[in-house]
Amino acid sequence: MRDLLSGYRVLAVSQFGAGPFGTLHLADLGAEVIKIENPNAGGDVARTVPPYTIPGDSLYFQSLNRNKLSMTLDLKHPDGQRVFRDLVQVSDAVFSNLRGDQPEALGLTYEQLEATNPRIVCCSLSGFGTTGPRRSEPAYDYLIQGLAGWMSLTGDPGTMPAKSGLSMVDFSAGVVAMVGLLAGLLDAQRTGRGCDVDVSLLDSAISMLNYVAIWTLNREYHPLRLADSAHASLVPAQVFQTQDGYLVVLCFKEKFWQALITALEAPDLDADPRFVSFASRYEHRDALISDLKGRFRKRTTREWLARMSGQVPCAPVNSVEEALRERQILERDMLVEVDHPDFGTLRQVRTAIKVPGAAQHERPAPALGADTAAILKSVLRYSDEQIALLRSSGAV
């Protein structure tokens, strides 16, 4: 077994969702992620997020901070800054998930740390970035979904704009930040010099507008919300109600449309000139969808899956409980059991990167400051007297 990122040490000044989700991938792949938590603020606010909390911990916090270490350190304290720079000397990256003006204020930029360690990679994931008129403003997933236009695309026509059911801006930006951080580490290996990596929630969300953005920027395209979670241009590609539930059906290739006709036992659709191509089905969307809705209501979801699976891209609209019981998920080993001293055995989902032969880590998220003394002793070689002075000063 091997740890792909063994030997890399990342100092993570982050909280809540986006940053911790990103660094969770590094920790699961074997990097030593030291979570720097402010002792004067009770550490990461995620420790108090309901439901399912105990003093200083929560299931929310556990889901995002598995396999990490926790060190309490006040970065606004002069002694705390000295400890932090000692850590920078023996680390590979500093990752922060703060307002865009805070990395510089707390001494977390490459310019500020280059003299301490010229190879250090300093990655900032903020709401709006480290530049621009809104750099000093706080931002959260929900806010960015509205600002970036996502909510205008989500939900049924005639209803209020809707956010995603998951924190997709946080999670996607967290992964983007990790790609940037790893790219910085590769460059530092090659050149001997680190760098700043600047990622924002807003930039990440805007970048994912992608094909909708190019249509809007270059043609007179005005995105609309479509009924039944339908695709903007490919037909049929949406949710259909069955006799007992809902089914997602996607005909993204002509061969899938032909396979759907066979599954529906509908040669009349094949013969209809309105539905012979992507373009004609798009033009006659309303007529086709009305017809298909009536057909899909005649059988159960299970019956349709038996007819279409492997031929037409399709899936049931599962509840979360049903999704976590899917055979494909279980056989892909996407669930892990982690023993927690207070919560007991916790079943969690893994991160999604799989490498044959890679070690799997199953340590619970740490208690606040659980590793402070060990890091000061084993990593920095501080004496008991030095540690006692730091504690008495309030730096740790």
Q: Could you tell me the sign of the dihedral formed by the alpha carbons of 229, 333, 182, 22, in that order?
A: positive
- Contact criterion met (CB below 8 Å) for 293 and 247: no
Q: Which helix (H) or strand (E) holds 289?
A: helix 285-296
Half-sphere exposure of 149 (CA within 13 A, CB side): 15
- For residues 360-377, one letter each, b for 16 or more C-beta atoms within 10 angstroms of the residue's C-beta and e for the rest, the string is ebeebbbebbebbeebbe
Radius of gyration for the chain, computed over Cα atoms and rounded to the nearest angstrom: 25
Q: How far is it, in rounded angstroms, from Cα 106 to Cα 178? A: 21
In angstroms, rounded to a whole number, what is the distance separating the alpha carbons of residues 212 and 149?
10
Q: Which of 44, 170, 291, 371 is flagged as catalytic?
A: 170
Question: What is the Cα–Cα distance from 276 to 58, expressed in whole angstroms?
Answer: 54
Residue 42, token pair as written in the block: 């009770």
CB neighbours of 149 closer than 8 A, spacing ≥ 6? 209, 223
CA distance 218 to 213: 8
Residue 170 annotated in active site: yes
Residue 240 CA to residue 243 CA, distance in Å, equals 10
> What region does 312 belong to: left with phi over 0, alpha with psi -120 to 50, or beta?
beta
The helix/strand/coil state of 57 is strand
The residue assigned the tokens 């084993």 is 378
Spatial CB neighbours of 276, under 8 Å, sequence gap ≥ 6: none
Q: What is the DSSP string of 305-370?
A: HHHHTTTS-EEE---HHHHTT-HHHHHTT-EEEEEETTTEEEEEEPPS---TTB----PPPPPTTT
> Which residues are marked as active site?
170
